[in-house]
Structure 1
Amino acid sequence: MAGRFRSTFSLFNRISRSDTLSSVGYFRRASPLIPQLTSGFASASGQKGGDVKVPLVLTGESGKYATSLYLAAVKTNVLDKVESELRAVVAATKSSPTFGQFTKDLSVPRDTRVKAIFDICEQAKFTEITRNFLAILAESGRLKNIQSILGRFFELTEAHRGDVNVLVTTVMALPPAEEKELKETLQDVIGQGKKVTIKQKIDPSIYGGLIVEFNQKVLDMSIKTRAMQMERLLREPIDFSNL
């Protein structure tokens, strides 16, 4: 897939010089699922979609787009395929300066954006759900937010599989043995049958210890937080009458 996707980048130059761009109206007629998806984005509650349950409740505009995409992909039984295609798209925004700039450049006419996305998806043989979703972002001027929107979507797909991403903040990188021990401990806490993935973040400002974040929970065992707690205790007045 990556090879097919890379081979489409040359389309941008041809499309940007084209005098016969497909209109948004034409694209809507060619892709009847777009109104369906657009309606889904507007009405997504972030909790349920018919008989499909969403594993995480996401808020904000990015969360609503991600939730509607998830529901559409699950209902049509193409979730894994859509995720794979969109991970390739995110990788392309980072590896290709041309494509990355294209997604951020709001000066590109709307018709040009939609035509480019349509042609890229056709060349890459993307599913209809992926094609329509990217077309909606192009039409609405939200391609510039594609990484944040898809980041939320990937949170949903990982939760769907039972994957748990854990962010561990430390002063310096954990040695492999300590990371392994921490992962085993977290696996016991989170439960067997779920894949635990640890991502390390280095932050010298916490002074020492560690901060563990997963499933919207935060376990702060940093020296900085302990010192602040101790300072608050020391500042509290002592009631000698109870001694």
Structure 2
Amino acid sequence: MAMAGRIRSSLPLLRRMMTVPAADSFPCPRSSSAYRPLLSPSTSPSESSRNYATAPAQQGGRVKVPIAYFAGTGKYASALFISAVKANALDKVLSDLTSLAEASKRSPTFAQFMMDKSVPVADRIKATAAIADESKFHELTKNFLMVLSENMRLKHLDTISEKFTELAMAHKGEVKAIITTVIPLPAEEEKELKETLQDVIGQGKKVFIEQKIDPSILGGLVVQFDRKVFDMSIRTRALQMERFLREPIVDII
């Protein structure tokens, strides 16, 4: 009860912090209008056409990428996002990737298969196609996984899946807020925190809360969303106080 009370007392402070520019907030980079969907830095346009040739008929028009990624895994996620939106299959592909990423966490054998570079490319592609067929994945998902298999990128599936989820949520006007506390938030506190976030973010977007437990923060809470971090943990406050006390005292005459 005492912990829940401290969390509730932090909500007014959180609201004030989120309504002014935060020093530790990182704005989302602007999407590039010249962005070209690349399956990977080493994949040519002809390879892209071949690997996506069996995808469903796509709609015309340019798809705007809501978040610009520049690393290799981000390019993979962005390429799949563009294809999924054009194929009107965003939710299905998202479900496929999420279930596969979760399966890799539950199965050490499957995780080892994705990491093992000694598996011949042909065998890896064949096994990946069989998994996709058995799981009834969308054809677009299946083709994408085969691209990852061919380019030995299956080991990055978790990261690609996370970035694809971020793109899908941003596209649908959804915001995931990660709340880190020492103990699980009681339902009433979670509801109040969600309402606070919704008021600040605005009614044009829908807020989803993901709770994380981290005893090392000692108390309070840390809120992360839209690449912003609002740290109201006791650990951070203690470190700030320690730095303050270590600063030399300057006499003003």
Paired letter, 1:108: V
Per-residue CA shift, 1:12-33, capped at 9, x if unaligned?
Answer: xxxxxxxxxxxxxxxxxxxx98
* TM-score, normalisation: structure 1: 0.73
**Equivalence for 2:63:** 52
Quick one: distance in 1 between partners of 2:204 and 2:165?
A: 19
Equivalent residue for 1:22? none
* Residue identity in the other structure for 2:249: P
5+ residue gaps, structure 2, are: 1-44, 53-60
Corresponding position of 1:103: 114
1:186 and 2:214 are equivalent in the alignment: no
Q: CA RMSD in A?
A: 2.5
- 1:174, distance to aligned residue in structure 2 (A): 2.1
How do 1:122-137 and structure 2 match up within 5 A? Answer: 122-137=133-148
Q: Which residue of the other structure, out of 36, 54, 63, is the alignment partner of 2:49?
A: 36
The equivalent of 2:99 in structure 1 is: 88
**Letter of the 1:51 counterpart:** R
Distance in structure 2 (CA, Å) of the matches to 1:182 and 1:193: 18
The one of 47, 55, 74 equivalent to 2:85 is 74
Q: Is the 8 A contact 1:34 1:133 kept in 2?
A: no
Deviates more, 1:71-80 or 1:119-128: 119-128
Matched, 1:177 2:206: no
- Residue 17 of structure 1 aligns with which residue? none
Q: Deviations over 1:134-153 (max 9, x none)?
A: 00111111111111111111
Which residue number in structure 2 is paired with residue 237 of structure 1? 249
One of 149, 158, 168 as aligned partner of 2:179: 168
Match of 1:113 in 2: 124
More helix by share: 1
Q: Tell me how far apart the structure 1 counterparts of residues 106 and 238 of structure 2 sit (CA, whole Å).
A: 43
Percent identity of the aligned residues?
Answer: 55
Query: Does structure 2 retain, via aligned residues, the 8 Å contact 1:170–1:203?
Result: yes
SS at match of 1:240: coil
1:158 counterpart = 2:156: no
User: How far is the alpha carbon of 1:178 from its aligned partner?
Assistant: 1.4
Which protein has the larger Cα radius of gyration, Structure 1 or Structure 2? 1
Give the match for residue 221 of structure 1: 232
The number of equivalent residue pairs is 200
- Hey, what's the Cα distance between the residues in 2 that align with 1:228 and 1:121? 49
TM-aligned CA deviation for residue 175 of structure 1:
2.1
Is the CA contact 2:51–2:143 (under 8 Å) kept in the aligned structure 1? no
Note if contact 2:129-2:146 (Cα within 8 Å) is conserved in structure 1. yes
SS of equivalent residue, structure 1 residue 185? helix
Asked if 1:195 is matched to 2:200, the reply is: no
